[in-house]
Amino acid sequence: DTDTDTDTDKDSKNAVHVSPLELLTVYGYSRGFMTQRGLPDTSKAAKYILKDFVQGRICYCYAPPGVIQQHQYHQFTVSDRIVNRGKITDRKLQRVYEGNNLLARRDFDQDFFNQTSTSAAHIKGGNNNKTNESGSMAKPWKNHQHKRNRKEKLRRVYGHLDN
């Protein structure tokens, strides 16, 4: 027990302390996360580090402040993670998937592509579109009727200046 304490004291004296910005810069550079200016993208590197930590790929080397037993911190077996892989652990998601019977069904593609009812939107030759009196299709987003009498109004407004 005292041997491990002296080892950690030696390690802490010889340890090189790296700032968070330096860590993110080196990680971003090594992974190829670069900004448009050619600098390492530290925000993207931080997101990936947090994602890896949450997924259990990165563990603490030292326990956070307040944890006394360093040797008991972050001890879990790899088999615990492998057992839960592929299973849904969130109960709400489990209920949603079970309620829709999505976990038991395997024929999603067949159900989708074997549908007999087809929509009329993709049938060639059907002319169910609205047309105006000139025969072209109506385009409600191009309704510029409010601009029709603009020139006439300007002539009326500034007509006294023409004489």
Residues 89-144 pLDDT 10s: 666 666 666 666 655 566 666 777 777 666 666 666 655 555 556 666 777 788 87
Query: d(Cα 61, Cα 18) in Å, to the nearest integer?
Result: 14
Query: Are 45 and 24 spatial neighbours (Cβ–Cβ below 8 Å)?
Result: yes
Q: What does pTM read for this prediction?
A: 0.35
Query: Are 41 and 31 spatial neighbours (Cβ–Cβ below 8 Å)?
Result: no
Q: Where are the domains of the chain?
A: 20-73
